[in-house]
Amino acid sequence: MKKLIALVLAAVMMLGAVACAAKPAASNEAEKPAEQGKVFNIYAWNEEFKGFFEKYYKVPEGVTVNWIINPSDNGVYQQKLDEALKNQASAAADDKIDMFLAEADYIGKYVESDYTMDVASFGFQNAPTQYEYTIKAASDNGVCKGVSFQCCPSALIYRKSIAKDVLGTDVPEEVQAKLDSWEKFEAVAAEAKAKGYYMTASFAETFRVFSNNCTSPWVVDGKLHFDDQINAWIDQTEKFVQNGYTLTDGVWGEEKAAQMFADGKTMCFFGPAWYFNFCMGNAIDPEKGCAGDWNITMGPQAHFWGGTWLLAATGSDNTEMLKDIFETFTSNEEVCEKLVVNEAQYPNNTKVVEKFANDPTYGNTTILGGQNDIAEFSKLAGSIKWENHTNYDQLLNEGLQTALQEYFKGAVDKDTALNNFYKYVNETYPAIVTP
Amino acid sequence: MSTNSKAVVRKGLSDNDKGRLQLTLLRILVYAILIFLSVLCLFSFYLMIVNASRSNAQLQAGFRLLPQEHFLDNLRNAWTDASINIPRGMLNSLIVAASSAVLTTYFSALTAYGVHVYEFKGKKLVFTFIMAIMMIPSQVSAVGFVQMMNKLHLNNSYIPLIIPAIAAPIVFFYMKQYMESVLPLEIVEAARVDGSNEFRTFNTIILPIMKPAIAVQAIFSFVSSWNNYFIPALLIDKAELKTVPIMIAQLRSADYSKFDLGKVYMFILLAILPVLLVYIILSKSIIKGVTSGSVKG
Amino acid sequence: MAKQIRSELGGRRHRSVSYAKWGYIFITPFFLVYLVFTLVPQLLTVYNSFFENYMDGLKQIGPTFVGFKNYITLFTPDKTGTIDILKYAGNTFILWILGAIPQFLIALLLAVFFTSYRLNIRGQGFFKTVIYMPNLIMASAFSMLFYTLFSNIGPVNQVLQSMGILDQPLDFFASKITVRSLVALMNFLMWFGNTTIVLMAGIMGIDQSLFESATIDGANAWKVFFRITMPLLMPIFVYCFITAMIGGIQMFDVPQVLTNGKGMPDRTSFTMVMYLNNFLQTSKDYGRSGAVSVIIFVITAVLGGIVYKTLAAQYQDPDAKKAERKARRLAKKGGNA
C-alpha cells in the first residue's frame, strides 16, 4: 500500500510539474487580439520578401502582420507549413495562415491543393503586364492562386575576352548568332577546347536550359518518363565530358566558382539577374576578379531559374489585404521601379521592364561593364515556358544530376548511375513506378 | 618514485639511469603524440577562425590558410543582425542546454542508483528494458514525437526540449557502469547505520562521489543539446524562443541579398564559445571530484 | 514527502522488506517521463511499419494495413542482385569500424597517459580541452570544413600538387576508399576526445591504493595496465564500446553532410540511417522508414546483447572478485528484499 502511495505521489508530482510548466505556453496564445481580420500571418523561409514588404507596402491601420519564418534547411520550412495548413480549418481566425511563400521548385504542390484559393474569389485580376509563365506557375487548371513579385529569366553569361579569342567577337548580338542553337553551341565548344578553354565549368550547367523546355512531364501514367530534352542533355553532357569541353563540378561547386576569376578558362555560365550578386563574387574580386569582362545574351534556349511566389491561403480572413498586396507587387509601377533600382530585382511588370530596357542611362556596371541587362533579359522573359511541370520536378532534377555526376566523374558506369537514380526516386516518391 | 628508489637498492645505479632514460624517452614520445593530435584538432578550429575573418565574397573565392581582415565586420554584422537576435538565441540555448544537463545527470544517477543499490522484483527486467530502449534509433520516433507535441500544444515551449532529458537511457547506462566500478556499497550501509534516510544518502553522499561521472555526462548532454537542430527547429517558430542552431540555419537559408557566409562562420564560432567555457569549468570538476570526494573501498 | 519519510522510518524496523520500495521510487521519474514523451512515438514506429502510409505531395496515401510487405520490399534484391539494406548495413559497419579502432586505441592510450603519476604530464588541462574541441563544433559545420579542405581545388590537393605527388587533382569524393577514410577520420576526430574523457574519469575512479601497492610490489606499467587498470575499467569500457557501437549503427550526420546525403560513390558511404532519412524527407513514408528502424533496432539489440554478454562476462569473472565479494556481503546484510 505504502509502495503504491509513494508511486502515485511521485506520479502526481511529475504530472504537476509538467502541467505547471505547460501553462505559460498556453497563455501566450490567448494573448493574441481576438478581433477578426486584424492579424495577417505570413509563412516564409527567409527575410527577402519581408524586407520588400516592410519598405513598399503600407499595412492597413490596426492590422498586425506576423511573420513565421522557418529555415529551409532539412525541409523544415515545408514541414512546418504543411503541418499548419493541415490545421488551418480548425485554427482560430487570427491563427490562420493568410499568405505563404513558395519557390518555383515546389509551387505546384501547393497550387494543386485546396489549401490555396482562387485569387478571383477576392476580386484580384491578373494584369496583362504580368509575365505569362508566372501566372501559369500559380494556376491549377486555369484557376490562379497567387502571384510572383519577380520574373527570373536566365541568360548565357560569357567572358568577353574568351569569346573574342574563340569567336572573334564579344558583341552580344554577334555572339548570340554563333550560339543560338545547341549544334552551334557544341561546335563552338570544340573550338574553345582547341584554344585551351572550357565551354562550361559544371556538368550540369546546361541542365536547366534543357529541362525548362521539356515537351512532356517527368511522370506519365504514374511512370517515370525521360523527356527528349532530358535525354538530349545527357547525350550532350556525355560528349562534353568525354571531349573535355566541360569540368565535372556541380552547379554550386567551388571548382566551378574558381573559373570566374581572371585566370579562369571557362567561357559560358548560365544564370538570371540574382546570379551576379549571389554566385559571381569571384568575378568582381578586386584582386583576382575580372569585372566588366562579362556580357549576357540569350543563348540556345530561353529558360528561367528560381523565383518566389505569394500564395493566398484558403481560410484567410484578410482577403482585402491579400488583394492589395498582390496588386502592389505586380501593378504598382512605382513599387516595381523601386524593386529594380533599390533591390536589383527583375519585376513582374512588362511596362516597368520596357521603361528600363529602353533607358540608355541604365546599365549594369558592377559586372557587365554597363550592358543593359534588363534589355537583354527582357528579350528572353517573354518566351519562358511553364509547361509539363509536375510536383516532383525539383527532386527528380536534383536526383538525376547527382546520380549522373558519379558517372560523368568516372566513378560508376551509366547503368549503375541510373539505377541509383531509380532507387532515389523510389525512396522519395513511392508512388512513381520506375523502370 | 618508490619504484625507482627500490630499484636503486636492489640493482644499483646503472638500472636507475636506464629507468630514467626510458621515462624520458617515453615522455618525449607521449608529448609528440599529444602535440600531433592537438594540432589535428586545433586545425579545424583554426579554420573556423580563419573563415570567420573572411567576407562572403572572399569565402566564395575559395580556400585560404591565413585570416583576412573581416573578423570584426563579421562579428558586428552577426551580433547586430536585425532579424536574428544572437544574444537572445544564446540565452535561450543556455536555458535549454543547462536545464537538460542538470535533469539528465541527476535523474540518470538517481535511476542508476535505484537499480544498482536496491534489490526489488523486476530489477533485472528494468535494466534489460532500459538497455533495449537505448538501442532504438531516435530518427523515426522523432517525427512521431513532434506530431505528439503539436497535438499537446507543446510547440513553442521548452518542455519537449528539456523534460525528456530525465529519461536518458545512455546516461543511465553510464551511471550504472560507473557505480559498478567505483561505488562501494558499504558507504550506503554506513549511512544507514548513521540514520540517514535513503533520499538524503543519495543527495549528500552518493552524488558527491559521482561528481566526475556527473561532470562528464553533463558536458556531453550540454553539448548535444546546445547543437541540436532538428527537433527544436520543428517545434519552435517564435522568434524570441529560437535557439542558436535554428538561427544558424536561418542565416544559411537567407536570400542572396542578405546571404553572408562570413556571418554564418562567425555565428558558428560564437556558438562554440559558451560550450567551450562550460567544458573547461566542468572538466575541472572531474579532477576535483576525484581528489576530494573519492572514497577508498 | 512527509509520507515518504515516515514510511522510511517505519521500514527501519523491518529492514529486509523496506528498502525495495526505494528502488521503485528512484526509478519512477525515469519511467514516467519515458512513458509520456518517448514510448508512444516508439510504439507508433513499430505499428507504422505494418502499414502503407506516405505522402504524395500534400496527398496522404494510406494508412493501409499491408502486413510484412514493407519488410519484404526492403529485403527484395534489385536488378543487380543487391539487397540495399544489407549493403547499407555493411557500409555502416565499415565506416564505423574504420574510425572506432583508432578512436579506442588512442583514447585508451591517452587516458592512461593522463592519469599516470609516473609520466606526470604537464599542460594536461590544455591537451584535454583541445582534444575535445572538435566535438563542440556542429557536425554540419565540421563537415563543411572538411569538404572545402578536400575539394578538387582545396588546400590538400594544392599541397599534394605543389609537392609533385599528384599532377592532377585527386577527386576525394569520387572514390570509395577516400570518402570512407574521410568519414572515418572525421568521426575519429570528433569522438576520440570524448572517449578519452570517459575512460579517464573511469580510471580516476579506481582506488589509487591499488596502483600504489602494485608498483610497490614491482609490477611494471604493462602489468599494471592489464592486471589492474583494464579489469577495473571494464564496466566503463563496456559502456564506451556499446554506446560507440550504437552511435556507429545510427551514424548519420557526418556522411550525410559530407556527401550531401548521397553517400557517393555508388552509395558506398550510404548508412542505414541515411536510408531511413531518405524515406522520411519528402515522402514521409512511415511504413518503410518504420520497417528500417525496426531492422536497425534488431541489429543493434543483437550486437549490443552479444557484446555486453561477452565483455560483461569477462570482467565479472577473474579480477573483480573483490567487488563481487563486497556486493555479496552487502546483499547478505540486508539489501536483499
pLDDT digits (tens, 9 = 90+) for C203-258: 887 777 787 787 777 777 788 888 888 888 888 888 889 889 988 998 988 898 88
C21 and C107 share one domain: no
Contacts of B253 in chain A (CB under 8 A): 45-46, 71-73, 77
Same domain? C202 vs C305:
yes
The helix/strand/coil state of B188 is helix
pTM (2 decimals)? 0.83
Tell whether C43 and C189 lie within a shared domain: no
Answer for the pair A95, A30: CB distance below 8 angstroms, yes or no.
Answer: no
Q: Does C25 touch chain A (CB under 8 A)?
A: yes
| CA distances, C296 to each of A140, A290, C258 (Å) | 42, 53, 22
Superfamily of the domain at B77-293: MetI-like (1.10.3720.10)
Average pLDDT over residues C270-282: 88
DSSP lists the bridge partners of residue A40 as A65
3-state secondary structure of C102: helix
DSSP state of C60: E
On the CB side of A78, CA atoms within 13 Å amount to 19
Return the residue of A nearest to B152 by Cα.
A22
All three cell numbers of A418: 541510373
pLDDT-derived band at B288, boundaries 50, 70, 90: low
Q: What's the whole-number mean pLDDT along residues B244-271?
A: 82
When divided into structural domains, chain C yields a total of 2
% of residues, chain C, pLDDT over 70: 87
Task: Tell me which of B19-28, B184-193, B249-258 is least confident.
Answer: B249-258
Q: What is the pLDDT of residue A208?
A: 92
pLDDT at B13: 53
Same domain, C289 and C227: yes
* Diameter of chain B measured on Cα atoms: 79
Interface membership of B15 toward C (CB under 8 Å): no
Report how far residue B7's alpha carbon sits from residue C216's, in angstroms, rounded to the nearest whole number. Answer: 10
Average pLDDT, chain B: 83
Strand A64-69 and strand A39-44: the pairing is parallel
Do C102 and C40 have their domain in common? Answer: no
In this structure, is residue C282 part of a structural domain? Answer: yes
- C211 and C271 part of one domain: yes
Minimum mean pLDDT range among A53-62, C67-76, C303-312, C314-323: C314-323
Domain ranges of chain B: 2-74, 77-293
Residues C321, C324, C326, C328, Cα dihedral to 10°: -130
Residue with more model confidence, A120 or C164: A120
The enclosing domain of C258 has a CATH number of 1.10.3720.10
Query: Which residue would you say has higher pLDDT here, A256 or B294?
Result: A256
Of A109, A108, A147, A112, the closest CA to residue A131 belongs to: A147
Check pLDDT > 50 for residue C10: no
Distance from CA of C82 to the nearest CA of B (A): 24
Residue of B nearest to C110 (CA): B34
A58's grid cell: 503600407
The Cα–Cα gap between B111 and B210 comes to 13
Question: Could you tell me the three cell numbers for B156?
Answer: 513553442
Domains of chain A, first to last? 39-151+306-357 (3.40.190.10), 154-303+363-428 (3.40.190.10)
**Per-position b or e across C258-291, b if 16+ CB within 10 A of its CB:** bbbbbbbbbbbbbbbbbbbbbbbbbbbbbbbbbb
- Whether residue C31 lies inside any domain: the answer is yes
Asked if the structure places residue C102 within a domain, the reply is yes
The helices-and-strands tally (H runs, E runs) of chain C is: 17, 2
Q: Kind of pairing, strands C51-56 and C59-65?
A: antiparallel
Residue A26, Cβ density class (10 Å: 0-12 exposed, 13-18 middle, ≥19 buried): exposed
**What backbone phi and psi angles, to 5 degrees, belong to A303?**
-160, 175
Q: Please, how many CA atoms are within 13 Å of residue B15, restricted to the half-sphere of its CB?
A: 10
Residue C167 lies in a domain: yes
* Predicted local distance difference test score (pLDDT) of residue B290: 52
Number of neighbours of residue A220 by Cβ within 10 angstroms: 12
Domain that includes residue C87, residue range = 76-335
pLDDT confidence of B183, banded at 50, 70, 90? Answer: confident
Helices C176-205 and C84-115 cross at an angle (nearest 10°) of 40
C163 touches B: beta carbon within 8 Å: no
Name the residue with higher pLDDT: C62 or B72.
B72
Give the whole-number percent of chain B exceeding pLDDT 70.
88
* Confidence at C315, pLDDT banded by 50, 70, 90: low
pLDDT band at C316 (very low <50, low <70, confident <90, very high): low
Other Cβ atoms closer than 10 A to B11: 12
Tell me, yes or no, whether C63 lies in a domain.
Answer: no
As a whole number of angstroms, the distance between CA A177 and CA A422 comes to 39
Q: Which residues, including other chains, have CB under 8 Å from residue C13's CB and lie 6 or more apart? A: none
Name residue C282's amino acid. Answer: T
- ipTM above 0.90? no
Alpha helix (H) residue ranges in B53-122: 56-60, 71-79, 86-117
The answer as to whether C64 is a domain residue is no
**Residue range A295-306, pLDDT digits in tens:** 999 999 999 998
Hey, is the C-beta of A274 within 8 angstroms of any chain B C-beta?
yes
* Structure confidence by residue, pLDDT tens digits, C283-300: 888 899 889 989 998 998
Which pLDDT belongs to residue C333?
A: 47
A103 touches chain B (CB under 8 A): no
Strands A223-224 and C51-56: unpaired
Residue A25 has its nearest CB partner, among B156, B233, B246, at B156
Q: Is 70 exceeded by the pLDDT of residue C84?
A: yes
Look up residue A85 and give its three cell numbers.
495548413
Instruction: Report d(CA A115, CA A104) in Å as an integer.
Output: 17
Both C100 and C41 in one domain: the answer is: no
| Top mean-pLDDT range of C47-56, C102-111, C228-237 | C102-111
- The 10 Å CB-count burial string (b at 16+, else e) for A107-119 is bbbbbbbebbbeb
Q: Which of B3, B31, B102, B139 best probes binding to C when mutated, by most C CB atoms within 10 angstroms?
A: B139
Query: Which pLDDT score is estimated for B287?
Result: 62
C interface test, pick of B136, B221, B294 with most C CB neighbours within 10 Å: B136
Which one, of A299, A300, A263, A292, lies nearest residue A276 by Cα?
A292
* Contact assignment for B250 to A254 by CB distance below 8 Å: no
Cell of C213: 601497492
From chain C, pick out residues whose CB is under 8 angstroms from the CB of A11: 28, 32
CA–CA separation, A408 and A249 (whole Å)? 10
Least confident of A408-422, B70-84, B218-232: B70-84
Q: Which phi and psi angles does C57 have, rounded to 5°?
A: 65, -125
User: Both C143 and C25 in a single domain?
Assistant: no
Distance CA B60, CA B25 (A): 47
**Å between A412 CA and nearest CA of chain C:** 7
List the pLDDT tens digit at each of the 435 positions of chain A.
Answer: 444 444 444 444 444 333 333 334 334 444 333 344 889 999 998 888 998 999 999 999 889 999 998 888 777 888 889 989 988 988 888 889 999 999 988 898 999 999 999 999 999 999 999 999 999 999 998 999 999 999 999 999 999 999 999 999 999 999 999 999 999 999 999 999 999 999 999 999 999 999 999 999 999 999 999 999 999 999 999 999 999 999 998 888 888 988 999 999 999 999 998 888 778 888 888 888 898 999 999 999 999 998 899 999 999 999 999 999 999 999 999 999 999 888 888 999 999 999 999 999 998 888 898 999 999 999 989 888 888 888 888 889 989 999 999 999 888 999 999 999 999 999 989 989 988
Q: B154-189 b/e with 16+ CB inside 10 Å = b?
A: bbbbbbbbbbbbbbbbbbbbbbbbbbbbbbbbebbb
Is C281 within 8 Å of chain A by CB? yes
Q: Does B32 touch chain C (CB under 8 A)?
A: no
Tell me which residues of chain A have a C-beta less than 8 Å from any C-beta of chain C: 2-3, 5-7, 9-11, 14, 18, 75, 82, 85, 108-110, 112-113, 115, 249, 253-255, 258, 391, 395, 402, 406, 409-412, 416, 419-420, 423-424, 427-431
